[in-house]
Structure 1
């Protein structure tokens, strides 16, 4: 995937920070309620139990710590919209790191408490414009925190799927940022203006090559809710399954975007 050419939309830094802290706090509260049997349950992430999923959530947050510990790059050489297309390349290393973390931290509540406290200290000390070395290149701390919101929303949903009744709430701002970034990533992956993808109330994007729509009702429209979109965009839900279950509506000859999904793996 070539570097994103479209200028990424802006995200309010204060709201993003609050969203990351809020979503992580909701996960912490839920993990305290998990017993040994629940922690040993399988998840929809191949080979991971709930214990490993929780360890990975902590790891996703401490990626900020690891990046801050490195010397700051001289200049930014990536944009936020590059990030969704760079995650799969590190899957083997992420899997190994996650398994090691789960083994090293049998007390997950204590582990997440340490992560939470250290993140709050870090955010109090660091400017949002501080550049970080990330897996996609040099990004500002403010931009990288948007990716952490995405990780938290996606894996909170994984946690809820693995433990029925856990019902970890999704922070509204974190869900909004996740929806928008993944919708914008689709527009980068399939540039064009023939199809409108609507995810109310958070995002509307134009994508797919073909005749550009200018006014009135677009001839090709896809519409769904934010959580369904997140699942489609990350491969947690198949396009055909969503259509058959009426979880998504698609009208027009260019509205079948199944071949373009997922955008984040």
Structure 2
């Protein structure tokens, strides 16, 4: 199958379909949704870490000479630190509109949508929603580039990378929906803007296909940045939300679902290698 067609299909899977899945998830009653969401987050952690350490990083090192190993490792480190700085800037920007520091709010959590906008005017609440849409669009555009880079390196790697993107996008999109609804958007408008934002994944993938084919020497470093993005999201954004539940049963469930996420990616990686794409 044509590589561009594969990139379009799987960037759509990683973007638009994850939004639609999150939209269906929102049809559940609030209590049920809040109960199920942490399980999705646990699964996404395993999927992200497995793709980073089982797929992206090994493939990146396979594409370079031994004397480039240190530069590639530095790229992973720089990527993790850069994502920390970027997220810090986004949090500061968010707090500027919502004065969250003054109210003691924690804007880092993914399941705190109902705390946004309390005590503020409608304009501030809509600003928070607009920032979520803008930030999500940029994030999705980068995801599209990463998926395309993985496909250009190895179509089998592209498949598991797009699955990992979808795995972490679904719980994130659910959190974004909650923020948009609390910011004053109706359900239909929130769904529309999230779908529009998700199309940036396809746009990023298509643009990357036409530009990265001439920049093969950059692909290992793009894969390294993709790995650092997945590691940062899993370790800095998602794992802290799991520590809120300290009961033994909840902890065992989290470990089992993380392991399930890792296992799925490893199985899919092996299955993809058995296919002639």
The TM-score, its normalising length taken from structure 2, stands at 0.30
The TM-score, its normalising length taken from structure 1, stands at 0.31
Relative to total residues, which structure has the larger strand share, 1 or 2? Answer: 1
Relative to total residues, which structure has the larger helix share, 1 or 2? Answer: 2
